[in-house]
Structure 1
């Protein structure tokens, strides 16, 4: 019995992809155009009416952005976001990278037991830890502070990040480490000059996740 298959030509497939991408991007384009239109124009007509006179730049305005930044205080919120997201991303990545390298390629007492305990933390519901963490942070006086947020993000993200980086780093060829050790490289030099550059794809994937 012959199996029925559905085949698409290259041009048909490209057309479907283009149409899907257009439908997907269209609302974002509409929001972007609307953000530059004065409120009366937004209430009176749709964003697509700007294409009736595409070179009439007088219908665009920065009033919405000025009001959001100056009156609503979005500028301060944006700065706070940078102060939160950048350290909360860099700190756990650095710690997880060191830990994953140590678990994968270094021998020390209790290595397997510590790694099993670390992976076991992934099954603990986050909701169970929120009240104890809040009490600890309250006693330390860091509730609502940047260090408190950095510590919370680091603590919650470290087990999974360490496990994911471990699976990648442990798959690197052992010949790289053996030859580097023979050439006189220290474990820290191996980590900085070999492991970190090769782990960039895994780190990027974790950041985007």
Structure 2
């Protein structure tokens, strides 16, 4: 009854304008319904349970981890930081010694993400708004590169970079590989986003005397921030969690990332669950921070351009 009264009150208001029945409006109403909220909460809880169990296990003593499940922690709660201290700062060969590998992962991931995202943004801008011969064919070629399996390109790229493995302290080859492998998807996603920008903005910029570089820097980049954030998250998670490329293009503990060391621990120390659980959670910290800090841009980037109305 109250909802009916409020509806009549809104309609009686001379400034009231009913929401148009567009695709965007219908999708917005369905995603904000009570049932959608309940489903989202259930999915979030189910998705979080394994991560919570991993975290609890990483804080339990070695004997408790090997004899009982993590859910028994609530009956006899016992916490310790010895697992993290051993796996991160341990000096023995059997310990994780993940501190240096953690730094290697940062040194690999941050430059590779910056290179791939920045080059993809400039290439997408050129393919979207700069007129030159063969532009459409280049975009088709970039799109087609997405179907090339990563495993087929590893050996040719490795041979290409064989003479440059010492550049950048040994990290140049893996930077180059991650940048090349991430460009096709990045260019495709950003091109679809940029192509929907209003043409009037670019015409007004040309009238004001702005060149392509200034237009990209002052107009395009601020408008595609959600798309850039989404692509940054994808690239960061993919590069941080990568094992195959790291195994091929890095050598020795001086350049290898966390994923390689965790794989070694799982292969040679499979019974040391206290090290594996704490090491796995150490590798999850940075991706979680990146995702949580950019999640609002991530959602906006995924939904932008998805519906029109």
TM-score (norm 2): 0.56
Secondary structure class of the residue paired with 1:171: coil
Does the C-alpha gap of structure 1 residues 74 and 96 become closer, same or farther in structure 2, counting only changes over 3 Å? same
Which structure would you say has the larger RCO, counting Cα contacts within 8 Å and 6 or more residues apart? 2
Matched, 1:98 2:122: yes
The aligned length equals 196
Which residue is equivalent to 1:38? 61
Change over 3 Å in CA distance of 1:29–1:187 after alignment to 2? same
* Distance (Å, rounded) in 1 between the aligned partners of 2:181 and 2:114: 14
Q: Does 1:163 align with 2:163?
A: no
Shift of 1:20: 4.7
SS at match of 1:60: coil
User: Paired residue for 1:130?
Assistant: 154
Asked whether 1:175 is paired with 2:194, we answer: no
Aligned-pair distance for 1:18?
A: 4.4
Aligned-residue offset at 1:105: 1.1
Aligned to 1:7: none
Q: Which runs of 4+ in 1 moved over 4 A?
A: 10-20
My pick for the range that moved more, 97-106 or 112-121, is 112-121
Q: Which runs of 5+ in 2 are unaligned?
A: 1-32, 91-95, 235-309
Hey, what does 2:229 align to over in structure 1? 204
Deviation by residue 1:171-206 (Cα, 9 ceiling, x = unmatched): 110011111222232322211121111112222222
Q: Over aligned residues, Cα RMSD in angstroms?
A: 2.7
Residue in structure 1 matched with residue 140 of structure 2 by the alignment: 116
Q: Tell me which moved more, 93-102 or 137-146.
A: 137-146
Map residues 21-100 of structure 1 onto 2, 5 A cutoff.
21-52=44-75, 59-71=78-90, 72-100=96-124
Give structure 1 stretches of 5+ with no counterpart. Answer: 1-9
